[in-house]
Amino acid sequence: MTAIGTPMKRREDPKLLAGEGKYVDDIQVAGQLWMGMVRSPFAHATIESIDAAEAAAAPGVHAVYTGAQLQEMGLWLAPLPCAWPVTDDMVNPPHFPVAVGEVHHVGEIVAVVLADSRYGAADAAELVVVDYEPLDVVASISAAVEDSTTAHSDLSSNKAFHWPLIPDPDALDAAFANAAHTISADFVQQRLIPAAMEPRGVLAVPSPHGGEITLYSSTQVPHILKVMIAATSGISEAKLRIIAPAVGGGFGAKLNVNPDEMLSVTLANKLGRPVRWTETRSEAAFSTHQGRGQHQHIELAADSDGKLMGCRVHLDADMGAYMMLITPGVPLLGSFLYTGVYDVPAFGFTCDGYFTNLTPTDAYRGAGRPEASYAIERAMDLLALEVGIDAVEIRRRNYLSGGDHFENLDVASTLTFDSGHYSPNLDRALELSDYDGLRAEQARRRDAGESTQLGIGVVTYVEICGLAPSRALGGLNYGAGGWEHATVRLLPTGKAEVVSGSTPHGQGHETSWSQIVGDKLGIDPADVTVLHSDTAISPLGLDTYGSRSLSVGGVAIAAACDKVVAKAKEIAAHGLEASADDMQFENGVFSVAGSPDKSVMIQEIAFGAFTAHDLPDGMEPNLQEQVSFDPPNFAFPFGTHVAVVEIDEDTGDVRLIDYTAVDDCGNQINPMIVEGQVHGGIVQGVAQALWEGAEYDEDGNCRNPSLLDYLVPSAAEVPSIKTDFTVTPSTSNPLGVKGVGEAGTIGSAAAVINAICDGLSPHGITDIQMPATPNRVWRAIADAKGGAE
Ligand code: MCN
């Protein structure tokens, strides 16, 4: 049977497409109270007084609580958690679900109203009168670095941590001292506002007899949430059940422990009534963490042929107002990838994290890795210009291991890549994109002096994913492990049930996992039920992020199937009066080697294991096995992308007209899902390059919080994407798989900006800040021509 590798349609989709998905907001319970959040309109201010009398008296209002009152009620043992204190001396100001004394970003909650209806709660929240004393605001990374104003009044500096990774400082200095060519560049990774189709929402329901709480949350991380809420609130883990029902996308923004999650659980527990909240779109721009937010400085040293000798990187990273779950770890996730797919003998990376009075940052598709890929891939184009060779040639000359297939290769003295084979991947991308034809068309337009010029951008990215080895994560001060858990049951009727520790929210796990189980057990994938996203059903798990679900969780499922088959084989051998060593297993049938007529189907064994009438002596009944898989290494997918843009030189308008992606995620379980993941990921990176970016005024107000101003692309804005794949199996897991959930995003922003800069290179333009709006592009052209007319 070959379900693995077959492009099966996602079994999840018909229900979702028919509108039958049950999201948090669809779940109604009797007696529920709605939370209405009173949010700060100031980015930095002291709270002088709060008058909630009118709100409390409004119809349908049950209570209004300020932060101080909630603390007096003793609801929290500790502030909201940060699970990744990257250094021992990292500064981490307390972050309570409701502010006490001082607010640190626009949208921070200062009081919470509980009312009988959603709109009653929202209306009453408007009646709460808060007297603020505004304070000076740190509204950008630059202002934070300058440090003359601090984002937290009780801190003497905005700097939260300094994190160095310089394996050999002398070698790094020597590389730059002896280089024939050096380049130095600064890039801005603007803040991005995640915009999953389903906004975040919570519903906490106490059990009728009290003492136990079920939280329905639109989250990617029910298991992590359970541990963190228990640790922070003091409610026993055993009394908490977290359910992520249908979740309409997350993209990293639902990987957190949010004020609303803590508030709903602790208030429901206190009041004995269900408590709920669903964010509005505009609230999401303030209340849900944002992505990126970095200033990058990168330097490359190369010999006269353009062979890299050294790479030096410094980041100033915007934490926003507080450290959330993995805020400080995000920039470090990229730290190991600043040398890209290139053979760089000397490497150094430092990162300073800074507080600002803006919404906290945290994981967003790629989390640290698109940023790294952007810096090195933009810098490689600059090096090509400096050396005077083509963007393709500079890459080819520098690929790790010269493009030959390698396994377990140490990279820049930082970590070991599982496998890579870059040149064939590049070759396929050049062929599929008709690179030579594109260059010819570019030359024609240039010669003809056409107003619409062509730009071609090439990147070869690498990603670190499959987060992963618990020891390695511990070495980075991460507060959790990286294993994943799976249970596989063969039920009495021969159908299978899988309990998965990962938590899908658009990635098609039910389909992929049924393919793995179908093949491994030799049954029809349609006979496999996948259970997940409910901590009562799946008590062990570490959830979905970092493109880990297949390369860690899927592998755990495969291993659990192997254990089921091993046990079934013993039962089969017993029944057929043969030795287990002589048993063969193929397509769900056990047979005795050399006696094909002596056979039994796995479904029959399943029933026998259930009745337990005739099991081998000492064997436990039932066919149920579980595995916690902790891989020995991360997985490192890679790929080459070619972006083609048309630039209207009169208006600065940039159109992405063609995009080719040749990715390598090792062996594939479901090529159709893989392709969909690549498409979505690419569009997210293209959006950063061309359209998206949170803009703030000097008072820390977001100027484009609504989807009218914040330009999330639709299918109409992107060309159809040409995809193909090379297959370089991972050595980090027995399935040979690498993750793909973020891969498209890792290279695409750089590919698009490389294309724009390539198109503008005749003007001497070497960089355009993201997003490359028509205004920015037009101004760059005008400046290059000698000043804006
Ligand atoms: N797959 C495969 N073969 C491979 C690799 C993956 O068949 N070699 C399949 C897997 O079986 C799974 C899917 O592709 O069905 C994604 O697997 P994986 O790469 O392991 O990623 P995760 O499932 O862990 O998903 C997380 C990843 C992340 S980190 C973000 S952010 C993201 C993404 O997935 N957010 C998404 N993709 C998203 N897709 C949707 N629709 N919505 C989001 O919020």
For 313-324, the pLDDT digits (tens) are: 999 999 999 999
The Cα–Cα gap between 561 and 513 comes to 11
Q: Across residues 232-246, what is the average pLDDT?
A: 96
Pocket flag, ligand 1, residue 484 (CB < 6 Å): no
Closest ligand 1 atom to 673 CA: 14
Pocket flag, ligand 1, residue 665 (CB < 6 Å): yes
* Secondary element (H or E) of residue 420: strand 415-420
**What pLDDT was estimated at residue 695?**
97
The Cα–Cα gap between 469 and 466 comes to 9
**What confidence category does residue 466 fall into, taking pLDDT thresholds of 50, 70 and 90?**
confident
Pocket flag, ligand 1, residue 741 (CB < 6 Å): yes
The Cα–Cα gap between 204 and 33 comes to 10
Instruction: State yes or no: pLDDT of 789 exceeds 60.
Output: no
Q: How many CB atoms lie within 10 A of CB 228?
A: 23
**What confidence category does residue 287 fall into, taking pLDDT thresholds of 50, 70 and 90?**
confident
3-state secondary structure 433-498: HCHHHHHHHHHHHHHHCCCEEEEEEEEEEECCECCCCHHHHHHCCCCCCCCEEEEEEECCCCCEEE
Contact 758, 456 (CB under 8 A): yes
Q: What is the distance in A from the centroid of ligand 1 to the CA of 545?
A: 8
> 699-748: per-residue pLDDT in tens?
999 999 999 999 999 989 999 999 999 999 999 999 999 999 999 999 99
Pocket flag, ligand 1, residue 433 (CB < 6 Å): no
**What pLDDT was estimated at residue 77?**
84
Pocket flag, ligand 1, residue 673 (CB < 6 Å): yes
Pocket flag, ligand 1, residue 669 (CB < 6 Å): yes
Going by alpha carbons, the residue nearest to atom 13 of ligand 1 is 507
**What pLDDT was estimated at residue 181?**
98
Residues written for the chain: 789
The Cα–Cα gap between 392 and 403 comes to 13
Q: Across residues 114-138, what is the average pLDDT?
A: 98
Report the residue among 507, 532, 555, 684 best suited for mutation to probe ligand 1: largest number of ligand atoms under 8 A from its CB.
507
Instruction: State yes or no: pLDDT of 788 exceeds 60.
Output: no
Closest ligand 1 atom to 546 CA: 29
Pocket flag, ligand 1, residue 548 (CB < 6 Å): yes
Instruction: State yes or no: pLDDT of 668 exceeds 60.
Output: yes
Closest ligand 1 atom to 548 CA: 24
Q: Across residues 770-778, what is the average pLDDT?
A: 98
The Cα–Cα gap between 138 and 582 comes to 72
Pocket flag, ligand 1, residue 550 (CB < 6 Å): yes
SS3 content of the chain, % helix, strand, coil (to 5): 35, 25, 40
Rounded-to-10 torsion of CA 95, 98, 103, 106:
100
What's the token pair of residue 584? Answer: 């063969």
Handedness of CA 766, 769, 770, 774 (dihedral sign): negative
Pocket flag, ligand 1, residue 260 (CB < 6 Å): no
**What pLDDT was estimated at residue 787?**
62
**What pLDDT was estimated at residue 467?**
82
Going by alpha carbons, the residue nearest to atom 23 of ligand 1 is 549
Closest ligand 1 atom to 553 CA: 20
Q: What is the distance in A from the centroid of ligand 1 to the CA of 30?
A: 36
Which region among 76-80, 138-142, 523-527, 627-631 has the lowest average model confidence (pLDDT)? 76-80
Pocket flag, ligand 1, residue 520 (CB < 6 Å): no
Exposed (0-12), middle (13-18) or buried (19+): which is 703, by Cβ within 10 Å? exposed
Question: At a CB cut-off of 8 Å and minimum separation 6, what does 434 contact?
Answer: none
Q: Across residues 177-183, what is the average pLDDT?
A: 98
Instruction: State yes or no: pLDDT of 468 exceeds 80.
Output: no
Report the residue among 224, 484, 550 best suited for mutation to probe ligand 1: largest number of ligand atoms under 8 A from its CB.
550
Q: Across residues 216-221, what is the average pLDDT?
A: 98
Which region among 27-36, 362-371, 391-400, 710-719 has the lowest average model confidence (pLDDT)? 710-719
Closest ligand 1 atom to 544 CA: 24
Mean pLDDT over the full length of the chain: 96
Q: How many CA atoms lie less than 13 Å away from 608 in the CB half-sphere? A: 20
Which region among 58-67, 489-498, 593-602 has the lowest average model confidence (pLDDT)? 593-602
Q: What is the distance in A from the centroid of ligand 1 to the CA of 361?
A: 22
The Cα–Cα gap between 661 and 678 comes to 8
What's the token pair of residue 123? Answer: 């209306």
Pocket flag, ligand 1, residue 420 (CB < 6 Å): no
Closest ligand 1 atom to 255 CA: 31
Q: Across residues 361-390, what is the average pLDDT?
A: 97
Q: What is the distance in A from the centroid of ligand 1 to the CA of 29?
A: 32
**What pLDDT was estimated at residue 524?**
97
Pocket flag, ligand 1, residue 220 (CB < 6 Å): no
**What pLDDT was estimated at residue 1?**
57
